Amino acid sequence: MAGYSLHIGLNGVDPDAYNGWDGALSGCVNDANSMAALASDQGFSTTSLITEQATSQAIIGEISLLAQQAVAGDICLITYSGHGGQVDDNNGDEPDNQDETWVAYDRQIVDDELYQMWSQFAAGVRILVCSDSCHSGTVVRMLINKGCRQGLLDQARSMPKDMANPVKVSEGLPRALPLWVQTADNVKRRGTYQFVQALSGAKSDSDVQACVLLLAGCQDSQLSYDGPVNGQFTGALLQAWGNGSFQGDYTAFHRSILDKMPPDQVPNLYTAGAVDPGFTGQRPFCITPAPSGGNGPVVPDNGNPATPATPTTPATRPTIRRGSTGEHVTYLQQRLSDLGYRLSIDGIFGPGTESAVRSFQRANALTADGIVGPLTWAALG
């Protein structure tokens, strides 16, 4: 087994490519360097693309090289730190009619392009993507998110310094393409983006034989914030990792990162491509996993090595439905994600979770009512 990694960090973009906007940020290059150091310590062969080097052609080319190198059992780590944006969805595979993007030095890279790149990897390859960028979507969302962050900052400043649980929040620029830049770029490159979307086709897990695990800096409706040293998400990830002292699995790692984040920036964890429950049960950044698929401290639940131990068994779990929140919802979302359903793991039982539950229930000959009671828990367990 081998580990390969690619680390992308942009503290700015080409103003000539984005109508005079330079996209200046502070912590993205540090993020790429920090993640490259982490990967090197774990035995990965690393490559970095920094600011001017991080063109769309270079990024896609390096991912293609990884796909050519990696064979079954290998792991590829790809980290991105920079602005996020959106373009109009032209193939109907996005419920909000927007494709998310990485803002490369010269143009946006559409998520359809990235999904097409994942399809080039061989079956049995593990792909871990850590993306510290945001996809705020509209100026209304942007204003709401900025207002929320300002309110949290004001509250944090007003709290006594010796308070036991201060609000975890820091100042910084949002890593989002400004709406005026995004709109102008989407008009300017409409033909390019429509071409790559058509060439890539609609996203389908059946087209991807590798297992892709994504750790994203925020939800699609939120902002990821920059910082003077690292981005808030990458900084929290590095704290959770603790220079290699962390010993849990990816689900526990995600929860540890969540504990270090402010309430207005909620990192996401989900899978795509081939279903490989053992991947999420491994220690993060592990090139050669333990024979059982786990890494020691995570105890199997009901004999399934992919499922982390929890304080309750399926038989004692409460009935949950749309509107429910908390640890049981998070556990439900992770189990559904392990089984190949694409949804956000945020502990909130919303429409996306309900839709996944109904699909799971239909596939298991259960009443497809979207309510998770004893029978659905048993099937999930």
pLDDT in tens, 318-336: 889 988 888 889 899 888 8
The C-alpha atoms of residue 115 and residue 212 are separated, in whole angstroms, by: 10
In a domain, 75, yes or no: yes
Q: Give the residue from 149, 102, 140, 106 showing the smallest Cα distance to 19.
A: 106
The C-alpha atoms of residue 111 and residue 196 are separated, in whole angstroms, by: 10
- Quick check: 292 pLDDT over 50? no
Residues 107 and 128 in one domain: yes
In a domain, 111, yes or no: yes
DSSP type of residue 122: P
State the distance between the two ends of the chain, measured CA to CA, in whole angstroms. 31
Per-residue confidence at 69, pLDDT binned at 50, 70, 90? very high
Average pLDDT for 330-355: 86
| Angle, CA of 276, 279 and 282, to the nearest 5° | 155
* Chain center to CA of 34: 18
In a domain, 303, yes or no: no
| Residue ranges in the chain assigned as alpha helix (H) | 28-41, 56-69, 111-118, 139-158, 179-188, 190-200, 232-241, 250-259, 277-280, 327-338, 351-363, 374-380
CB atoms within 10 A of CB 364: 13
Q: Which of 50-59, 169-178, 366-375 has the lowest mean pLDDT?
A: 169-178
pTM over 0.85: no
Domain range for 366 is 310-381
Per-residue confidence at 98, pLDDT binned at 50, 70, 90? confident
Per-residue confidence at 30, pLDDT binned at 50, 70, 90? very high
Q: Is residue 299 exposed (0-12), middle (13-18) or buried (19+ Cβ within 10 Å)?
A: exposed
The C-alpha atoms of residue 262 and residue 197 are separated, in whole angstroms, by: 34
251, amino acid identity: T
Tell me what percent of the residues of the chain surpass a pLDDT of 90: 39
pLDDT given for residue 2 in this prediction: 93
| Angle, CA of 64, 178 and 52, to the nearest 5° | 40
What is the SS3 string spanning 253-296? HHHHHHHCCCCCCCCEEEEEECCCHHHHCCCCCCCCCCCCCCCC
Q: Is residue 304 exposed (0-12), middle (13-18) or buried (19+ Cβ within 10 Å)?
A: middle
Residues 101 and 241 in one domain: yes
More confident residue, 95 or 327: 327
The C-alpha atoms of residue 69 and residue 64 are separated, in whole angstroms, by: 9
Q: Please tell me the total count of domains within the chain.
A: 2
Residues 269 and 378 in one domain: no
358, amino acid identity: R
Q: Which of 118-132, 137-151, 165-179 has the lowest mean pLDDT?
A: 137-151
8 Å CB contact between 347 and 268: no
pLDDT given for residue 290 in this prediction: 59
Residues 242 and 330 in one domain: no
Q: Give the residue from 52, 175, 34 showing the smallest Cα distance to 105.
A: 52
Residues 281 and 323 in one domain: no
pLDDT, tens only, 210-232 = 999 989 888 776 788 888 899 99
The C-alpha atoms of residue 89 and residue 115 are separated, in whole angstroms, by: 14
The C-alpha atoms of residue 146 and residue 212 are separated, in whole angstroms, by: 31
Residues 156 and 248 in one domain: yes
Average pLDDT score over the chain: 80
Of 262, 297, 332, which residue constitutes the final position of a domain? 297
CA distances (Å), origin 112, targets 46, 100, 294, 308: 25, 9, 32, 32
Residue 322's domain is classified under what CATH number? Answer: 1.10.101.10
Residues 28 and 128 in one domain: yes
Residues 380 and 251 in one domain: no
Residues 222 and 98 in one domain: yes
Residues 252 and 319 in one domain: no
More confident residue, 151 or 131: 131
Residue 68's domain is classified under what CATH number? Answer: 3.40.50.1460
Q: Give the residue from 215, 169, 233, 182 showing the smallest Cα distance to 27.
A: 233
Tell me what percent of the residues of the chain surpass a pLDDT of 70: 78
In a domain, 275, yes or no: yes
The C-alpha atoms of residue 51 and residue 105 are separated, in whole angstroms, by: 6
Residues 283 and 325 in one domain: no
Residues 64 and 182 in one domain: yes
In a domain, 95, yes or no: yes
